[in-house]
Amino acid sequence: MTRQLIAPVNFRRTLTRAVLLPSLLMVILSGALLSQVSYLLSVTRWVEYTDQIIARTYQTEKLIVDAETGLRGYLLTGETDFLQPYNQTELKINSSFNQLGRLISHNASQTRLLKEIHSNYDRWELYSRQLIRLRKNNENYQAYSINAQGKEMMDEIREQMALFIDIEQTLRSQRSKAAQNTTVAFVAISIALTLLLASLVAFFVRRQLMKLSEDYEKNLLVVTNQTEALQHSEARFRRLFESNLIGIIFSHLSGRITAANDAFLKIVGYPREDLVLGKLRWLEITPPEYIHLDEQAIVELKVSGVAPPFEKEYIRKDGSRVPILIGAALLEGSEQEAVCFVLELTESKAAEVEIRQLNETLEKRVAERTIKLEEANQELEAFSYSVSHDLRAPLRAMQGFSQALMEDYAEQFDSVGQEYARRIVAAAGRMELLIQDLLAYSRLSRAELQLRLVDLESVIEDVMTQLEVELREKQAEVVIEEPLPQVMGHRITLVQVVVNLLANAIKFVATGVKSKVRVYADERGSWVRLWIEDNGIGIAPDHQERIFRVFERLHGIETYPGTGIGLAIVRKGVERMGGRVGVESQLGQGSRFWVELPKGIKV
């Protein structure tokens, strides 16, 4: 099973996740820290702000104190120089109060307190002006016991100022405390958040990296396996390439040969330099009459990736031609480059030519011999025909004279002489039969047989009529299983064939056994097989072939008379009708002779 490679897009996804989530968490952390910082800043700002208020309050208080001191100096000395700080305060005090008022505008109780101080000061100022005027006019300013009143006023202002500052100091220390707490909280939260985030990021990044490394390892394994398999197959192919058992080339469909082994170079007779210099192109070493085969192969390569082997020729470097067998396959992933094997056919072509020549000579010789054999056969058959024919005349004379001897001179012979004469008559009779059979056999070989549609039932009918006497004498029982089909044959020859088989069937039975014969037929495709089955003595398998030859007999003439030509006539007749003949038998178990002829076709 080949494991699938994990697609690079999955790697990218894992990597993006590994970067994206930590970045997101960092943003959240930054947001949280920012809000903390801004809160801390606002708290710190409040402390500074309170410092400003306090400073401004001190400045205002100082102006008031300066005014009072100046006033006192003037009142004591009457020198106007002492009034300078007083005048300065007069110039600045209102704006100082106003600035302070703006600074504490957010604080209603302090604003109220400030207003009271301001109005108290205004009252004091009014009173001080009066004193200054009295002093200027050299009137007795002390007579107006307003002096003490002034001190009271100033004391109240001072108390109020102290209260005001006290409140602001308290506020300041509260705000500073808050700032401290916030800083501590900020640091604690920052540390906690950072730790949490760091562990989250670490956990997540670890998980993603683990997955990444797992995927990577899986891919590495697949790639390693694939590389090993590739190396293995590459090594095997290299072995084949370098073994130089067959020519192998890598070529471009355009004609360029990119690589070739030594075997190929040897076939085409080119040195390797020619290949390296690009001088060896398959198109250029292919004779023009084979280009169409190459074009066909290219079409097949493009359609199925494989071009089945075909024969062609190459022109060798020396100009001679070399017959080859070539097959090709497109390289995987390429539409233009193919690997081809090239087998030199010079030797097999030569062998082919030799075989063809031998075959032709053999066929010629066989034909010549057949003709000679046929001629010899015909001569032999003609000779045996004429011999048989010519023998008949002297035989008849022999028969006639021996018959005459027996009839006319019987009383002049003693019993031995009479026996000799009887034997001469019997021998002549047998000779007559032999000659008849030989003549029938010869005729069958020479006659022109016209094949027609023959009805087997009528053939059997004729046979039964011809053998009527023998059948009756032997009290043979013949069962004919009708209907019998029609065959293509020669009626007279077929009757002769079946007569011989049926005669044998009732002849070759053991003594005392009543012969039983069964005649039937079956159809086998376009053939009809006629069977003649008997309950006779049977034939040992070893003899079943030879009994169809002329004069071949398995018994002496005394036991079973005959000429030994009957079955030869059967075979010759059947073969002349285009059929076959055979026997199935076991010694002592009866025989089944069969004749096979083409099935009858009505024309």
Contact residues for ligand ADP, defined by CB under 6 A: 500, 504-505, 508, 534, 536-537, 539, 547, 552-555, 562-568, 591
Considering the complex, state which of residue 344 and residue 534 has its C-beta at the smaller distance from ligand ADP.
534
H or E stretch at 56:
helix 8-77
Q: What are phi and psi of 280, to 5 degrees?
A: -100, 105
Strands 527-534 vs 452-455: parallel, antiparallel or unpaired: unpaired
Min dist CB 504 to ligand ADP, Å, is 3
Nearby residues of 429 by Cβ (< 8 Å), 6 or more positions away: 399
- Nearest Cα to 153, choosing from 143, 161, 164? 161
Considering the complex, state which of residue 30 and residue 559 has its C-beta at the smaller distance from ligand ADP.
559
Min dist CB 364 to ligand ADP, Å, is 37
Min dist CB 459 to ligand ADP, Å, is 19
Min dist CB 491 to ligand ADP, Å, is 21
Nearby residues of 193 by Cβ (< 8 Å), 6 or more positions away: 29, 32, 33
Nearby residues of 418 by Cβ (< 8 Å), 6 or more positions away: 406, 410
Helices and strands of the chain, counted as H and E runs: 13, 12
Considering the complex, state which of residue 156 and residue 552 has its C-beta at the smaller distance from ligand ADP.
552
**Which pair of tokens denotes residue 205?**
């990044």
Considering the complex, state which of residue 150 and residue 590 has its C-beta at the smaller distance from ligand ADP.
590
Q: How far apart are CA 5 and CA 223, in angstroms?
A: 8
Considering the complex, state which of residue 117 and residue 595 has its C-beta at the smaller distance from ligand ADP.
595
Min dist CB 566 to ligand ADP, Å, is 3
Min dist CB 543 to ligand ADP, Å, is 8
CA dihedral 369, 370, 373, 375 (to 10 degrees): -110
Considering the complex, state which of residue 247 and residue 536 has its C-beta at the smaller distance from ligand ADP.
536
Chain position whose Cβ is nearest to ligand ADP: 562
- Nearest Cα to 519, choosing from 508, 504, 534, 509? 534
Considering the complex, state which of residue 70 and residue 562 has its C-beta at the smaller distance from ligand ADP.
562
Residue-wise over 529-556: b if at least 16 C-beta within 10 A, else e? bbbbbbbbbbbeeeeeeebbebeebeee
Partner residues linked to 250 by β-bridges: 259, 339
Considering the complex, state which of residue 123 and residue 592 has its C-beta at the smaller distance from ligand ADP.
592
85 vs 28, 90, 118, CA distance in Å? 59, 8, 18
Considering the complex, state which of residue 565 and residue 577 has its C-beta at the smaller distance from ligand ADP.
565
Q: How far apart are CA 366 and CA 546, in angstroms?
A: 25
Q: How far apart are CA 249 and CA 261, in angstroms?
A: 7
Min dist CB 522 to ligand ADP, Å, is 20
Min dist CB 550 to ligand ADP, Å, is 8
Considering the complex, state which of residue 342 and residue 444 has its C-beta at the smaller distance from ligand ADP.
444
Min dist CB 441 to ligand ADP, Å, is 10
Contact 114, 106 (CB under 8 A): no
Considering the complex, state which of residue 29 and residue 539 has its C-beta at the smaller distance from ligand ADP.
539
Considering the complex, state which of residue 121 and residue 508 has its C-beta at the smaller distance from ligand ADP.
508
Q: What are phi and psi of 566, to 5 degrees?
A: -50, -55
Q: How far apart are CA 528 and CA 488, in angstroms?
A: 9
Min dist CB 581 to ligand ADP, Å, is 12
Considering the complex, state which of residue 271 and residue 588 has its C-beta at the smaller distance from ligand ADP.
588
Three-state DSSP class for residue 534: strand
Q: What is the 3-state secondary structure (H, E, C) of 91-107?
A: HHHHHHHHHHHHHCCCC
Considering the complex, state which of residue 376 and residue 557 has its C-beta at the smaller distance from ligand ADP.
557
Min dist CB 511 to ligand ADP, Å, is 14
Min dist CB 599 to ligand ADP, Å, is 26
26 vs 183, 203, 223, CA distance in Å? 21, 14, 37
**Which pair of tokens denotes residue 96?**
């100082």
Min dist CB 560 to ligand ADP, Å, is 6
Burial of 360 (C-beta count, 10 Å sphere; 0-12/13-18/19+): exposed
Burial of 578 (C-beta count, 10 Å sphere; 0-12/13-18/19+): middle
DSSP string, 294-363: HHHHHHHHHHHSEEEEEEEEEE-TTS-EEEEEEEEEEPTT-SSEEEEEEEE-HHHHHHHHHHHHHHHHHH
Considering the complex, state which of residue 70 and residue 566 has its C-beta at the smaller distance from ligand ADP.
566
DSSP for residue 512: T
Min dist CB 572 to ligand ADP, Å, is 11
Q: How far apart are CA 516 and CA 509, in angstroms?
A: 9
Min dist CB 554 to ligand ADP, Å, is 3
